[in-house]
Amino acid sequence: MRRRHLTLGLIGTVLASSALLVPAPTASAAGPRPDFRAPWPCGEGRDYYHHSSEVHNALDFNIAGSADLGTPALASASGTVIDVVPMPNSSGYGNYVRVDHGGGWTSLVAHLDRISVAKGQYVRTGDELGKVGNTGESFGAHLHYEQEADGQNQPIVIDGVALRYSATAARHTSGNCGTPQPIMAGSPTDFTGDGVDDIVTFTQDPKADVYVAASTREGFGGAKVWHDFFAPAGEFPALGDVDGDGDDDLITFTQG
């Protein structure tokens, strides 16, 4: 990876496209817990509980009766959808979705009535993953939710609150209220050097990951993280061959 600074009235940082060929390091242990938000809409309350036969450290969220059937199940943090498993392939989970938030952390929503995302799709905090349902081994419409670190279920913390585990229902009001930062996609550009345009996406969320979806000549493959923390909100990303080597580079203007 090359990082440069340009003085063009603004300070620019350039990352050469050749870095796409360098594999990202793999974390050996989970990093800091993401700022998880509640996986349902802002300001709405849900009862929650944990029963004896429940998956370890999972919680079920519900509105009395079946009032939450068909309501949105949301991404509790930004990340990439890594599992989209519909019935009948999902055993007791019913229709479920798992999102990779980086640093070894994932989250899962299950028993969905339907799924709204595709594997490999990037989602932001608050994006819809599916609709609450009653599929799989479910006792009624509710949202089953898990947080995992390095594949192990963790005690759930959402909206900065460590939720309690009891068969007696407690209540939580969603703080999933922020307006997601827009995903900024540059013009299609030949980022892999194969003569065909690819799609580059600047998420500009707190993680500021950059995704590349390489062309297959008939469509585009799944978006993959090319670089983390590049062009966060407040900076201005751009694309272009700034070093004249024939390959497009990524530039961010920091205004510093």
Q: Which domains does the chain have, with CATH numbers?
A: 3-24+181-253 (no CATH), 45-173 (2.70.70.10)
Taking every pair of C-alpha atoms in the chain, what is the biggest distance, in angstroms? 65
Both structure tokens of 20: 């796409």
Confidence band, pLDDT 50/70/90 cuts, at residue 255: low
Quickly list H helices, the chain.
Answer: none
Confidence band, pLDDT 50/70/90 cuts, at residue 188: low
Contact (CB, 8 A) for 157 and 38: no
Mean pLDDT rounded to a whole number for the chain? 80
Reported as a single tens digit per residue, the pLDDT across 195-230 is: 777 777 777 777 777 888 777 877 667 777 877 888
Reported as a single tens digit per residue, the pLDDT across 130-171 is: 999 999 999 899 999 999 999 999 999 999 999 999 989 999
d(Cα 198, Cα 97) in Å, to the nearest integer? 27
